Structure 1
């Protein structure tokens, strides 16, 4: 990200020069916005995609976790027994993907997707840097509305920063956080972008979100405009950050206390909205419950997830899952009936249809609930942890557990996360990374050649490779070691 600059065109989008030029804006004396109305109009070109899934934002990608993105991180995790399903994936009846697609995904060789995450997420950070900087210079703007817009931008920027940190920074190397620059470089021509310490990245995230939360408490939302600028969402987000940070090289003794505090606030009053039957669960998943307190995003690409999860009409179907995972469900747990047909992945999951679109909820209350249960446990409140876990199980019709403590209780919380977030974007991969669990050992054959992929807890696979173009453009950046690209 050396000599980074972006030229913004008012109301018309923007022009990007290369994947390494996203964190700095614009040439001196060139402004993207002159008034608060200008700022809101430019930002709306990005926000609109969160309210209308058919809209391509003026910057970034939509959905914010793309189909390729989810399929890649699914392929990096252990939800599906890929080795046992190779005959299905490479069957002549599967006309949705070629052998190269599966080779790249299952051998963790999908550089196009990791590159896209890096470049597109930094693209949005640069865009928001520009608008945040220029919002500080607006004269005569309505103070309350300006604070609402600034709060909205701070939470969105934090989302992309956090995801890049989760994906590309190792858990145990404090020096290898992501590169980060939060301004538009109006005083300098170029910037040498080194990797920040992870603690610095988390400091930025927490500082920005606490500022956004204070702004919300001061002025409240603009109901017709605000999307991420929501008290419950910000509290949920802070809980996620403290929870993830607490097992990293940047951990502090207060992390779980803070995760507990924000998760408790995020779930306050949500029980009414959390689905408690199969029908309610499916309605939430397909966004038919408009009162459900989370941000819903979906793609519009018909069949775009079919190559990974399977569906009818010639796509992979009846996929095998690990037997221990299937056996972890109670007979009364309605998620078991939704996820599986027999002991195989149901053709209707994960989208409750055979269309296989990308569907996701950001800041879902279920995530805050399970963070709260774990935070109670980590803070020595075993009774509260067990009660919260059992309350959550009750939402899903699952059987309560009793007498658990220590590692057994933590293991049960982790199992509940796996069941709740089955095929949910990046969650299982991030759990494998954060908890340092699971061995992946795959012996696969592609293009008449045998390949072995072995992933051990905490190894290099849990910090995605920095794009080659970034390493070439930016001599100050340190790569994530261990990755090699397979040439077929």
Structure 2
């Protein structure tokens, strides 16, 4: 009974939220209450329930998936500086987080809310015997992929976390933290199933629902975390050889993040076709005479090679001069306003092809495939307007890849924060920059209220 009630609640919520966006499906949810047993007997209502999961990702608290991970990941690492820090941004910038920080609490809550929605949808989908088989497989593959993505961020921000795979609140309320290695093992199984269920083609117009290549991109990130270099090379080679994507030319670098870019593997749509990508509204000033709310750190700016297009004004960075002072800010997304009766020209890019090249380069460097790793790095350097890499051994290649990742993915999904933690470089890089930095700051604190709700949870060390 508990499971049925939980499923009914979450599916109703997803159906109601799905009515605000027709980008994922072309139907309206039923205007009245729909019984749970009917939700997954119709292809249309099953699609509507699944689409609500994506909408929840873009409209949840603190907007983790809209710009939150980029903003706060950039603040707590070494990418951006707040112009007028409030208590929240200062806490991240100074690495002075506490267990009742509202943004940390919001991130944790949203990721688990999406997991809960995925669990409920999977229970309904797997128990259905009346959906079109191909659609059923597709939706199960999508929900498994999305659920695994939440855990990718959870373990990278908190390390060990509860592994929640049911919609039963009574079970979930008493779960202890699962070791990160066990979550990785579970994710690998889930993502392999997702890859087998999803098709290479996108199931709807555009790239707003995941296909097989999106699932393989997340699987590649997992193999990187697990240091399974041979598997990482195989997966990324499959993506790169698919012919489904191509790097945007260096002469058009500002178009990398345009909707349906040739480089995009998966993107999150606006939930209602009026919401712009938060990276633009947060980072891009309203006029050339306004001081940006956030500027790129001197360390990041000075790390770009002189001819690197990625660090030049007009591509992925912007510049305002206010009172004779230059302010350089991130500008990967540029649509700051929306013309009436038009749709956004940008969606939030989650995975793109450049990452596959640098993931494969890292795998090849670790397997001492020097020439092959160089070739992958040079694909990205050439697009950036740079000469070929001079790195010619494993250690130099790994250092070169780390720099390319820093410049390719700055102010993008907290890649820098995750990379520093993953490679054990957080103390070395961040301790000199943040007076309050402690080694335990590589993890966020478990939200205080979660510890109160669940007596089986324990706090991360240091908090």
- Name the CA distance, whole Å, in 2 between partners of 1:379 and 1:409: 11
Query: 1:136-285 residue pairs with structure 2 within 5 A?
Result: 136-169=126-159, 177-185=160-168, 192-216=174-198, 222-224=203-205, 227-246=208-227, 255-269=228-242, 273-278=246-251, 280-285=252-257
For residues 204-236 of structure 1, give each alpha carbon's deviation from its aligned partner in whole angstroms, at most 9, with x where no partner exists. 11111111111236x965345984441211111
Q: 1:400 aligns to what SS in structure 2?
A: coil
For 1:414, which of 390, 402, 409 is the aligned residue?
A: 402
For residues 330-378 of structure 1, give each alpha carbon's deviation from its aligned partner in whole angstroms, at most 9, with x where no partner exists. 3332112233659966356242366699964112111111000010011
For residues 161-206 of structure 1, give each alpha carbon's deviation from its aligned partner in whole angstroms, at most 9, with x where no partner exists. 211111110xxxxxxx2101212349x7665201112222111111
Aligned residue pairs: how many? 418
Q: Which blocks of at least 5 consecutive residues in structure 1 are unaligned?
A: 16-28, 91-97, 170-176, 247-254, 445-451, 484-488
For 1:321, which of 297, 306, 311 is the aligned residue?
A: 297
TM-score by length of 1: 0.75
Q: 1:191 to 1:424 in 2, by over 3 A?
A: closer
Q: 1:238 to 1:471 in 2, by over 3 A?
A: same
Does residue 468 in structure 1 map to residue 455 in structure 2? no
For 1:104, which of 91, 96, 105 is the aligned residue?
A: 91
- Name the CA distance, whole Å, in 1 between partners of 2:245 and 2:7: 47
Residue number in structure 1 paired with 2:418: 430
For 2:266, which of 277, 295, 308 is the aligned residue?
A: 295
Residue number in structure 2 paired with 1:78: 78
For residues 237-269 of structure 1, give each alpha carbon's deviation from its aligned partner in whole angstroms, at most 9, with x where no partner exists. 1111110222xxxxxxxx111111111112225
For 2:383, which of 387, 392, 395 is the aligned residue?
A: 395
- Name the CA distance, whole Å, in 1 between partners of 2:214 and 2:172: 35
- Name the CA distance, whole Å, in 2 between partners of 1:262 and 1:161: 20
| Bigger fraction of residues in helix | 2
Residue number in structure 2 paired with 1:481: 461
Q: 1:13 aligns to what SS in structure 2?
A: helix
Query: 1:349-360 residue pairs with structure 2 within 5 A?
Result: 349-352=331-334, 360=348
- Name the CA distance, whole Å, in 2 between partners of 1:150 and 1:390: 38
| Alignment check: 8 A CA contact 1:370 1:389 kept | yes
Q: What RMSD, in angstroms, separates the aligned Cα atoms of the two structures?
A: 3.7
| Alignment check: 8 A CA contact 1:35 1:138 kept | yes
For residues 391-418 of structure 1, give each alpha carbon's deviation from its aligned partner in whole angstroms, at most 9, with x where no partner exists. 2211221111235213222111100000
- Name the CA distance, whole Å, in 2 between partners of 1:46 and 1:305: 23
* CA displacement at 1:427 relative to structure 2: 0.7
Q: 2:436 aligns to what SS in structure 1?
A: strand
| Alignment check: 8 A CA contact 2:280 2:334 kept | no
Q: 1:46 to 1:62 in 2, by over 3 A?
A: farther
- Name the CA distance, whole Å, in 2 between partners of 1:262 and 1:150: 21
Does residue 113 in structure 1 map to residue 103 in structure 2? yes
Q: 1:443 to 1:76 in 2, by over 3 A?
A: closer
Q: Which blocks of at least 5 consecutive residues in structure 2 are unaligned?
A: 16-34, 339-343
Q: 1:335 to 1:34 in 2, by over 3 A?
A: closer
Residue number in structure 2 paired with 1:286: 258
- Name the CA distance, whole Å, in 1 between partners of 2:291 and 2:86: 14
| Alignment check: 8 A CA contact 2:280 2:333 kept | no
